[in-house]
Homo-oligomer: A and B are copies of this chain.
Amino acid sequence: MSRLDTLIEALRCLPGVGPKSAQRMAYHLLQRDQPGAARLSAALSEALANLRHCERCNNFTEQAVCGRCADPRHDRSLLCVVEMPADLSVIEQTHAYPGLYYVLMGRLSPLDGIGPRELGLEKLIARASDGQVREVILATNFTNEGEATAHMIAELLDARGVRVSRISRGVPVGGELEHVDAGTVAQALIDRKSL
């Protein structure tokens, strides 16, 4: 296999990129943006070598514990569970939440083979049982998968006597947190209900 074919094949690891797109991307990079290709190659290997998951919140970080978890100004009694880092950013933008986060890096998705074990829920359980957390706020998406994930986490934490709440259904049903305006997300945080 030529190095061009190897590159085209390698580009297909990107989500949503099929054979034609991969070919177009390879030609574009080689013909029109070699500096961009070099930056991408370096950024990938740098990220792989240096990014890890925060021991406490599971978000991407370059330290053992990320800056947010290490910052003593946040309320350590509140733990908000989100699917992805982008969801965390949306909640931060509301300035309506004083606590800490746990980032699942996904959601339950039986069809894709992602169950509680693959999602690493035991890490969340351990985190929520640290003695400081008094309430876990579930802020997974209001999609079917996000709802199933919230219910599963609620059951697991309930069995361990941890108080659990769910952000209110101010977020449109079927919608994804990332695409909702900050005002609606703020309302959903305020209206959270105990489970």
Contacts and interface: CB of A to CB of B under 8 A. Distances in A.
Nearest to A106: B31
Contact of A13 (B3, B4, B27, B40): B40
Interface in A9-39: 9-11, 13-16, 20-21, 23-31, 33-34, 36-39
Contacts of A44: 7, 10, 29, 37-38, 40-41, 44
* Range, interface on chain A: 35 or more
A163 B84 CA distance: 61
A132 interface: no
Contacts of A13: 29, 33, 36-37, 39-40
A51 interface: yes
A30 B60 contact: yes
B47 A7 contact: yes
A140 to B, nearest CB: 15
Given A25-B15, A27-B105, A34-B48, A3 B41 contact: no
Contact of A47 (B20, B30, B60, B62): B30
A45 B7 CA distance: 9
